[in-house]
């Protein structure tokens, strides 16, 4: 007898020898699928680079984003922007010092006698918690 198509694939022809993989940018958890409509586009902020994905799409890594559903790759953020978490749908402006542990190697002077202290490369500490911000293009 015929075996049902694996998750991530489908066959529109019941007697076909092989199944067709879902396109990159989509995934399917259904087995025995009989049409491409069972291939679900990856949500915005996620991607699937390979075809035939069974399971869920991968969240975009830091410093990249996917604004539209159905992405086969994530786009890099411009040099002066970043993302605060994985799975972003857009990039943000440069982050403040020590924002979620991701700061910058070089800080601008903080207001009201606050002082940015370089803890280590890529991380700043602002002990007085005055408004500090990163130099554009440095916060990665």
Domain ranges in the chain are 95-140
Q: What is the pLDDT of residues 44-54, one digit of tens each?
A: 999 999 999 99
pLDDT value at 86 more than 50? yes
Question: DSSP alpha helices (H): ranges in 47-109?
Answer: none
Count other Cβ atoms within 10 Å, centred on residue 42. 24
The burial of 35, by beta-carbon neighbours within 10 Å (0-12 exposed, 13-18 middle, 19 or more buried), is given as exposed
CA–CA gap between residue 110 and residue 133 (Å, rounded): 8
pLDDT tens track for 14-46 = 788 899 999 999 999 999 999 999 999 999 999
pLDDT at res. 16: 84
Cβ-based burial of 55 (10 A; exposed 0-12, middle 13-18, buried ≥19): exposed
Question: Which H or E run includes 27?
Answer: strand 26-27
Query: Per-residue confidence at 134, pLDDT binned at 50, 70, 90?
Result: very low
Whole-number Å distance between alpha carbons of 112 and 75:
38
pLDDT (mean) for 51-62: 95
DSSP annotation string for 76-87 = EPPTTEE-SSSS
Does the global pTM surpass 0.75? no
Q: Which pLDDT tens digit goes with each residue over 88-128?
A: 999 887 555 544 434 444 444 333 333 444 444 444 444 44
Averaged pLDDT, 63-76: 96
């Amino acid at each position: 007898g015929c075996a049902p198509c694996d998750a991530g694939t489908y066959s529109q022809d019941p007697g076909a020898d092989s199944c067709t993989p879902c396109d990159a940018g989509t995934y399917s958890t259904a087995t025995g699928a009989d049409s491409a409509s069972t291939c679900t586009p990856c949500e915005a902020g996620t991607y699937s680079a390979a075809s035939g994905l069974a399971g869920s799409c991968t969240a975009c890594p830091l410093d990249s984003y996917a604004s539209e559903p159905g992405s086969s790759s994530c786009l890099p953020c411009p040099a002066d922007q970043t993302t605060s978490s994985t799975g972003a749908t857009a990039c943000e402006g440069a982050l403040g010092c020590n924002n979620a542990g991701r700061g910058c190697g070089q800080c601008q002077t903080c207001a009201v006698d606050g002082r940015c202290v370089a803890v280590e490369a890529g991380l700043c500490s602002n002990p007085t918690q005055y408004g500090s911000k990163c130099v554009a293009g440095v916060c990665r």
